Amino acid sequence: MTPVRENSDSMKIYINGKLYSKGDAKISVFDHGVLYGDGVFEGIRVYNGRVFKLAEHMDRLYESAKTIMLDIPLPKKNLTKDVIEIVRLNGLKNAYVRLIVTRGAGSLGLNPFTCKNPQVIIIVDKIILYPPKFYKEGLTVITVGTQRNIAEAVSPRVKSLNYLNNILAKIEALNSGVPEAIMLNSFGFVSECTGDNIFTVKKGSIFTPSIYMGVLEGITRACVIDISRAAGIPVKPIVMTRHDIYNSDECFLTGTAAEIVPVVRADGRNIGAGKPGQVTRFLMKEFRRLARREGVPAF
């Protein structure tokens, strides 16, 4: 599908193959994505005009959609081309792409089969998740009472539009004066943060909660694992507790928007020396180098 230009405004938002200005981009209030959070999405980064890890993001989008029985109305190959084209048309060589598929308009009831036309939306914009000082000095985080959804209810491996679980945890963090929160699963083990995966470093090895602990299989998480193992640093998915975090030498978070951000204090306890550690700084440098040389060209 080739996007059709609807107007000449600077921001061009893609909805079902057509382009609209920000003010004209609209979907039905009866869309089940609006009514119930029924849909899936991906956040994708563009570095130096290259769309980073696009194939991996597309694979996860289609897998998430399959799990919730949502038929994306065009082949993966075609939608991939449309993502590249909308990035090019927006002219941002460093950007954040939000790719959304909603269930579409239906009845006010929960029945998803009343929705006949899923909506595909692509937004290209800039994003700054954390101020630069956090990458230099590190984050302070707390553990919150809001637990991560159990996999038997809503699989954390599905990147769904319903982020209320994460939002409630984020509210707890912000009300406590910190930017991010550690979320535990129903067994009290560390799962992830509100929008990022979590890692620790101890005696030269890297640890992260196993996907079976209720975590999203992050694209940046996978990059960090690959970079670490290529550098000879062992990476071990584990059943992680807060004890592991408090007594780690280093801690950091990963996410598409956040990239890699150090954590230097958790629940009132300094992590290691209370400043970003050597392994974290190495991974930040290597990830940025990787992100800026790889990806699908849009320009």
Contact by Cβ (8 Å): 295, 53: yes
- Region 284-296: what's the mean pLDDT? 94
- Give the separation between CA 27 and CA 104, rounded to whole angstroms: 9
**Would you state the pLDDT for residue 1?**
55
pLDDT at 5 over 60: no
Show which residues are catalytic. Answer: 159
- Region 159-181: what's the mean pLDDT? 97
Q: CB-based burial of residue 51 (10 Å sphere; 0-12 exposed, 13-18 middle, 19+ buried)?
A: buried
**Would you state the pLDDT for residue 7?**
47
Q: Which residue type sits at 297?
A: P
pLDDT at 49 over 80: yes
**Would you state the pLDDT for residue 6?**
47
- Region 255-259: what's the mean pLDDT? 96
Q: What is the pLDDT of residues 93-123, one digit of tens each?
A: 999 999 999 999 999 999 999 999 999 999 9
- Say if domain 4-125 classifies as CATH 3.90.850.10: no
Position 9 confidence tier, pLDDT thresholds 50, 70, 90: low
- Give the separation between CA 6 and CA 17, rounded to whole angstroms: 10
- Region 88-92: what's the mean pLDDT? 96
Q: What percent of the chain has pLDDT over 70?
A: 97
Q: What is the pLDDT of residues 195-248, one digit of tens each?
A: 999 999 999 999 999 999 999 999 999 999 999 999 999 999 999 999 999 999
Q: Report the CATH number of the 132-293 domain.
A: 3.20.10.10
pLDDT at 4 over 60: no
pLDDT at 65 over 60: yes
- Region 9-25: what's the mean pLDDT? 94
Q: CB-based burial of residue 16 (10 Å sphere; 0-12 exposed, 13-18 middle, 19+ buried)?
A: middle
Q: How many CB atoms within 10 Å of residue 5? A: 10
Position 152 confidence tier, pLDDT thresholds 50, 70, 90: confident
- Give the separation between CA 180 and CA 261, rounded to whole angstroms: 11
pLDDT at 2 over 70: no
Q: How far is CA 61 from the centre of its chain?
A: 12
pTM, two decimal places: 0.94
| Mean pLDDT, the chain, integer | 95
Give span(s): CATH 3.30.470.10, the chain.
4-125
- Give the separation between CA 121 and CA 18, rounded to whole angstroms: 10
Query: 40: which strand partners?
Result: 101, 160
Q: What is the pLDDT of residues 128-137, one digit of tens each?
A: 889 999 999 9
Give span(s): CATH 3.20.10.10, the chain.
132-293
Contact by Cβ (8 Å): 64, 28: no
**Would you state the pLDDT for residue 127?**
86
